[in-house]
């Protein structure tokens, strides 16, 4: 039983990033996520063996995905399913189809899911999947073949009580329908194997809007803390996909003025507020919001620096860095995307007293309603939309007030408070289960 290693274990010896890394913009997503974890582990004085276990993934599956293209050629894609920690329940986390979805990025996202699920207090561990591809360059039929093959290859480690995928960047309800069907062909009809499905296949009412709705719920709570009146507040949002678009629409419905939105093709800004329906129609006709005629075209970088009260990055990681953190004009940054702020930018924003609502809290609405969907599938019963939204609001508000209380208690930034709560819960579950 005696510990015979010469150096204290931190996870490095099993492939986790060093606990001694200093914050920099060059950190990989996994290094950045682990940097925030080590901060919590230090504050909580976690024992070395617990730190080592939580700094690295439990299981990592990398698969080859051969796909027949429409022109008859064959392409081989790389896919991953990473299970970070299952102390609190079955692994849970989305599937990303994006060119950046490599092993490092998926590892980072899997770890963030562990902390997010613990913080929002759903009975899940954390996982993430990804396929390194450019989904917008694939036809519907190619995407379907890719998705089915990927599901078939990861089917050995997923399961209703083992690991339940969901949508993320580049995937949607249709992707989940194909995944459910591919799994069902092997194991029989199993709606609870994925969440974020179409409602007619056992999906939950409100799941499509849930992440964006959750973003707005906690943004409103944080706005009070920053003395921002949400009604009339100017909001800029990077990313106009599932999360960004719903967040924009719900924020506008609740009285905020959405002054800027963007997609991969660039952004549009109007200081008087955008007509979101017209922007969406324009984007569907011309492929991007960038050249919307009633707005000024801005780049994705410029969008982050526009005059606004609340900035919501809702696209990709690492967009707020040391080069722009001191140019951000918003008083409140809400991380709807996963990992949008590098550790060094996080420090700059903290020093400038810009409040950052961290990703593991801000975008937890999606997994919360995924949890409700999983519960409904197990019960074979469908809830009403009002019930879903009521329960979502209750959980988001509770987690937000717990984070605020912890931050006040320890005089900590919100991210540190959120990580402390989450890591403490997971470490406690791991300990009483006898994991380590």
Residues at the contact surface with ligand NAD, assessed by CB under 6 A: 167-170, 211, 239-244, 263-264, 300, 314-316, 336-338, 363, 366
Residue nearest to ligand NAD (CB): 241
CA atoms of 319 and 360, how far apart (whole Å): 17
Asked if 331 is an active-site residue, the reply is: no
CA atoms of 169 and 105, how far apart (whole Å): 12
Of 50 and 168, the one with the shorter C-beta distance to ligand NAD is 168
CA atoms of 89 and 43, how far apart (whole Å): 25
Q: Do residues 266 and 297 lie in contact, with contact meaning Cβ atoms separated by under 8 Å?
A: yes
Of 151 and 173, the one with the shorter C-beta distance to ligand NAD is 173
Q: Do residues 261 and 240 lie in contact, with contact meaning Cβ atoms separated by under 8 Å?
A: yes
| Minimum CB–partner distance for residue 405 and ligand NAD (Å) | 24
| Minimum CB–partner distance for residue 391 and ligand NAD (Å) | 16
Q: Do residues 317 and 109 lie in contact, with contact meaning Cβ atoms separated by under 8 Å?
A: no
| Minimum CB–partner distance for residue 394 and ligand NAD (Å) | 19
Of 170 and 202, the one with the shorter C-beta distance to ligand NAD is 170
Residues 103, 434, 89: CA angle, nearest 5 degrees: 55
Of 237 and 412, the one with the shorter C-beta distance to ligand NAD is 237
CA atoms of 292 and 269, how far apart (whole Å): 9
Out of 128, 224, 281, 398, the active site residue is 128
| Minimum CB–partner distance for residue 160 and ligand NAD (Å) | 20
Of 315 and 348, the one with the shorter C-beta distance to ligand NAD is 315
CB atoms under 10 Å from CB of 379, counted, come to 10
CA atoms of 204 and 194, how far apart (whole Å): 11
Give strand pairing partners of 418.
Answer: none
Question: Phi, psi at residue 110, to the nearest 5°?
Answer: -65, -45
SS3 of residue 126 by DSSP: strand
| Minimum CB–partner distance for residue 168 and ligand NAD (Å) | 5
Of 336 and 427, the one with the shorter C-beta distance to ligand NAD is 336
| Minimum CB–partner distance for residue 322 and ligand NAD (Å) | 19
CA atoms of 50 and 54, how far apart (whole Å): 6
Of 364 and 427, the one with the shorter C-beta distance to ligand NAD is 364
Those residues whose C-beta lies under 8 Å from the C-beta of residue 129, and which sit 6 or more positions away, are: 79, 80, 81, 82, 93, 94, 95, 96, 106, 150, 154, 165
Of 40 and 304, the one with the shorter C-beta distance to ligand NAD is 304
| Minimum CB–partner distance for residue 101 and ligand NAD (Å) | 10
- Could you tell me where the beta strands, DSSP code E, fall in 115-231? 125-132, 163-167
| SS3 of 5-61 | CCCCCCCHHHCCCCCCCCCCCCCCHHHHHHHHHHHHHHHHCCCHHHHHHHHCCCEEE
CA atoms of 417 and 43, how far apart (whole Å): 10
Supply the DSSP string of 314-354, one letter for each residue.
-S-TT-B-TTTGGG---SEEE--SSS-B-HHHHHHHHHTT-
| Minimum CB–partner distance for residue 336 and ligand NAD (Å) | 6
Q: What residues act catalytically?
A: 128
């Amino acid at each position: 039983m005696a510990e015979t290693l010469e150096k204290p274990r931190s996870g490095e010896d099993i492939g986790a990033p060093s606990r001694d890394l200093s914050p920099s913009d060059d950190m990989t997503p996994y290094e950045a996520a682990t940097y925030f974890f080590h901060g919590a582990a230090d504050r909580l004085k976690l024992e070395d063996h617990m730190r080592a276990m939580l700094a690295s993934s439990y299981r990592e599956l990398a698969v080859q995905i051969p796909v027949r293209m429409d022109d008859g050629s064959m392409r081989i894609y790389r896919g991953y399913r990473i299970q970070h920690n299952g102390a609190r329940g079955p692994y849970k986390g989305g599937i990303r189809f994006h060119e950046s979805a490599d092993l490092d990025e998926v590892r980072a996202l899997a770890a963030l899911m562990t902390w997010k699920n613990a913080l929002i207090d759903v009975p899940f561990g954390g996982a993430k999947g990804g396929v390194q591809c450019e989904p917008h360059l694939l036809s519907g039929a190619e995407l379907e073949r890719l998705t089915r093959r990927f599901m078939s290859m990861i089917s050995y480690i997923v399961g209703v009580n083992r690991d339940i995928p969901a949508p993320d960047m580049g995937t949607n309800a249709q992707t989940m329908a194909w995944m459910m069907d591919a799994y069902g062909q092997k194991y029989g009809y199993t709606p609870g194997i994925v969440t974020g499905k179409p409602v007619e296949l056992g999906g939950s009412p409100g799941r499509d809007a849930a992440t964006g709705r959750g973003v707005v719920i906690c943004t409103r709570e944080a706005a009070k803390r920053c003395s921002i009146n949400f009604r009339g507040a100017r909001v800029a949002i990077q990313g106009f996909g599932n999360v960004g678009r719903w967040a924009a629409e719900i924020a506008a419905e609740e009285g905020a003025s959405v002054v800027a939105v963007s997609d991969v093709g660039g952004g549009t800004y109007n200081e008087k507020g955008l007509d979101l329906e017209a922007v969406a129609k324009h984007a569907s006709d011309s492929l991007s919001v960038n050249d919307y005629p009633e707005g000024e075209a801005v780049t994705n970088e410029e969008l982050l620096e526009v005059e606004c009260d609340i900035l919501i990055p809702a696209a990709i990681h690492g967009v707020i860095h040391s080069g722009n953190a001191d140019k951000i004009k918003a008083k409140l940054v809400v991380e709807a995307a996963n990992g949008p702020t590098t550790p060094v930018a996080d420090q700059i924003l903290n020093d400038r007293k810009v409040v950052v609502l961290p990703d593991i809290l801000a975008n937890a609405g999606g997994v919360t309603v995924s949890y409700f969907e999983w519960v409904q599938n197990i019960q074979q019963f469908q809830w009403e939309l009002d019930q879903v939204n009521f329960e979502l609001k209750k959980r988001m508000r509770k987690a937000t007030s717990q984070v605020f209380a912890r931050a006040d208690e320890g005089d900590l930034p919100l991210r540190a408070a959120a990580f402390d709560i989450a890591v403490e819960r997971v470490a406690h579950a791991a300990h009483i289960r006898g994991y380590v």
